[in-house]
Every structure is written in C-alpha cells, then in structure tokens.
Structure 1
C-alpha cells in the first residue's frame, strides 16, 4: 500500500463536488480556476484513487412519505464471528436500515433506520430485526427533530491530506455486497405521530 498527497486544487474539487455533485466539468473547472481538461483529469484521478466513491442524488424523504427516523441499539447473544457475520448479512438486506455501526458499550450495534410511519417501524423491529438469529435485545428511540445533519466531510484545503492507495480489487472487497445508502436521506418526524410513540419503542426481544 502506498500513499499519495492531495493538493489544494484536489481538495477544492472535492469540496465543490460535495456541495453539488451534479456540476458539469466545465462548471467545476471554473469554480476551481482550472481549464476543463486538467480539471477532468484530476477528477478521474480522484475517482481512481477511491476518494470519490460515487455520485448520488439526495432525495427529500418527507416528500416521499418517509417521515420516521429511529435509532436502534441491538445486543447479540454471543459476539462470535459467525453471529456477527450473519447479523451483518441480514441487516444489509433491510432497505430501511440506512446506517449500521458495530459499537462499544452495552450494545453491539447501533442502527439508524427510516420508515414511512410507526406501523412500518414496528413491522421492521418485530417481524424482521427481532427474528435475526442471535439477537438478544432491541432498544429503539425515535428522533423527534433533526437539529443538525451534514454530508460534507471536513477537509481543509490549508492542511495536507494523504490518501492511502490500495488496488481497486482490495478496495471493493471491503464494501458490503448490497448497495449502501447515503446518510443524508433523513426526514423530520411527523408532528401528528402518536404521543406515546414519541418517547421510546421497545418491542419483541426488548431487554431492560
């Protein structure tokens, strides 16, 4: 594995694309004070390095009727490799799971999930997550209001950035088999939601 340094122009390109990935090459080149040809060459280099993973469209979840965000803590019966791998494969199949983290502390995993309504969330917890083999407890909390949410990584053009470069096949091996979801897809909670659900949900295999 080797490293390659990104200069100020590279970082400017990355910051502009983080703000608006739909920029044409001509528009991007003008923003970073380059001519189109060298700008395109830099973008292709950043893509080849894996720094630019992909470009996506950020959807408005509320307009699409996806109005519930919840954070779910999950504990497994045993922290053995087979259980961890089985849980990961099962979670990857659930489209409502936007992010999944293996964490320290009392729980093993933290999920951020999105659902159309409380009934949809309940179905996800009771009929899908709780039925994954090895799950011993589930604790879930609803987000009442999104206070802050960012998708732009804090890279500073005034600080040197070095990228660890590995071959493309190794880079892809580290990625989950199923498609990943952008963390920016999140909506505010429906104000008409049942009040008893706004504080805490605990279903099925819920523990203390």
Structure 2
C-alpha cells in the first residue's frame, strides 16, 4: 500500500503542477492500493480513481471523480468542485419547478447524457432533489432582463468579488444566493462592486436536478 498525506502541499504553483503530472504517472504504474489525502480538489479529481469526501469527520460522499463533480451531495462538496447547490422539493408535475429549502424557486430541466439525472421535469412531485448550477451559466444584468429565454430570473445584491485565475467570481446575495463567474471586462463594463443591486438569469437547461437531500 502507498499512503500519501498532502504530498504536494508545500510546493509553489508551478512546481505543484509539474509534480502532479509526475505523481500521476507513478500512481498509474503502481500495482498496489494507493491512498492520497488532500485538501486540493484539483489533486483529488485528477489523481484519484475513487473519491471519499470527509466533512466534520464523517463520510458525506463517495464515488468516481466524474460522479462527485457532476452530482455533489453537500454544500461543502459543491464548493470543492466549484458549483452552486440548492436542496429543494419538486413542486409541480412536468414543469421542472423546484421549491428551494432556503427560499425561492428554480426551474431545472437539464438531463445528464448518461441518464443519472433526469431533470426535475421527470421526477414526481415531492421528491427531494439537489439542483446543481455552474457559476459560469448564471448571467448578470443591471436591470430586469426582458424578452430573453431564461426561465429563471431573480434579483440580488453583489456581496463580494474575487479574482480566480482568468475570471472573476461574484458572490451575490438573493433568493437564492449564487456564485457567478464573469470575465474581467464584463465586470468592468457592468461596474460591479459590493452592494450593487443586480438581476440574475439562468436557463432551465443549465440547472441540473437529481435526487438527494443536501447538507
């Protein structure tokens, strides 16, 4: 057995990328079981065949990297893989409407190509679901958008802005709250700043609903 406890934690960003590639080759050629402990989601998603996610000392999710990244089971896991996650209940038959636990509603109609998530339209009323949304799929407007196709439109207030690589992540308070990824030119053009009221828009086809309780 090979046990690696935070093997890349002390490296700078460039060295970590090089070491990650080398470690991937070593693990691929290792015949025995290997256990890698890390707080870095990129390391976990790129190096592991199977993930076991611990939160507050208990296992909250287990599965392949693809399944965990596509269907996070808790807010903690969703943040690790960079998604918004909203627990709720299917509210109406055949509409895709989900009544969210923390207030508000979303229409979620995105199926998975492998059939593991049907979208809320294919689930019975009252089914407990999680709705996963990519921050890049949420659009920001200064006025309520009119004449557009998104079925999800709601107001919010910019809480914070953070530079993440080549994009800016906006944290927006609303019902529901949302993380939104934008380009730096878009942030400048919109004049986004903490405290600014905005409108968010999300296509139903970009909201993926699947059975789950959240946490």
More helix by share: 1
Same fold (TM over 0.5): no
Instruction: Give the number of the structure with larger relative contact order, counting CA–CA contacts within 8 Å between residues 6 or more apart.
Output: 1
More strand by share: 2
